Structure 1
Amino acid sequence: MTDTAIAWDTYSRQRPERRPVNARGEATWFNWTQYPDHGPGAELLNLTPGGRALDLGCGKGGNAAHLAALGMNAVGIDISAAQLRSAEERWGHLAGLALHQAEAVSFLRGASETFDAVYSVYGALWFTAPELLLPAIRERLRPGGRLVFSQRPPVEGCYGCQASYIPRGADEDPLVVKRWDYDPDAWEQLLTEYGFMDVRATVLEAPPGPRRVGTLIVTARA
Structure 2
Amino acid sequence: MTDTSVAWDTYSAQRPERRAVNARGETTWFNCTQYEDHGPGVEVLGLEADARVLDLGCGKGGNVAHLASLGMHATGVDISPAQLRAARERWAGVPGLDLRQMEATAFLRETADAYDGVYSVYGAVWFTDPALLLPAIRERLRPGGVLVFSQRPAVEDCYGCQASYIPRDADEDPLVVKRWDFEPETWERMLKENGYTDVRAGVLAAPPGRRKIGTLIVQARLTP
Match of 1:68 in 2: 68
CA-to-partner distance for each residue in 1:143-181, whole Å, 9 max, x for gaps?
Answer: 000000000000000000000000000000000000000
1:177 maps to a residue whose letter is V
1:83 maps to a residue whose letter is Q
CA-to-partner distance for each residue in 1:2-58, whole Å, 9 max, x for gaps?
Answer: 711000000000000000000000000000000000000111111112110000000
Take 1:42 and 1:116, find their aligned partners in 2: how far apart are those partners?
A: 14
Match of 2:205 in 1: 205
Unaligned 5+ segments in structure 1 are none
Match of 1:112 in 2: 112
1:221 maps to a residue whose letter is R
Q: Percent identity?
A: 71
Match of 2:181 in 1: 181
The runs of at least 4 consecutive aligned structure 1 residues that moved more than 6 Å come to none
* TM-score normalised by L of structure 2: 0.97
Match of 1:36 in 2: 36
| Matches for 1:58-207 after TM superposition, within 5 Å | 58-207=58-207
Q: Per-residue deviation at 1:212? A: 2.6
Unaligned 5+ segments in structure 2 are none
* TM-score normalised by L of structure 1: 0.98
2:119 maps to a residue whose letter is Y
Take 1:65 and 1:134, find their aligned partners in 2: how far apart are those partners?
A: 24
Q: Per-residue deviation at 1:192? A: 0.3
Take 2:214 and 2:32, find their aligned partners in 1: how far apart are those partners?
A: 11
SS at match of 1:11: helix
SS at match of 1:208: coil
Take 2:92 and 2:78, find their aligned partners in 1: how far apart are those partners?
A: 15
SS at match of 1:149: strand
**Count of residues paired in the alignment:** 221
Take 1:44 and 1:135, find their aligned partners in 2: how far apart are those partners?
A: 22
Match of 1:214 in 2: 214
SS at match of 1:83: helix
Take 1:172 and 1:51, find their aligned partners in 2: how far apart are those partners?
A: 45
SS at match of 1:124: coil
SS at match of 2:39: coil
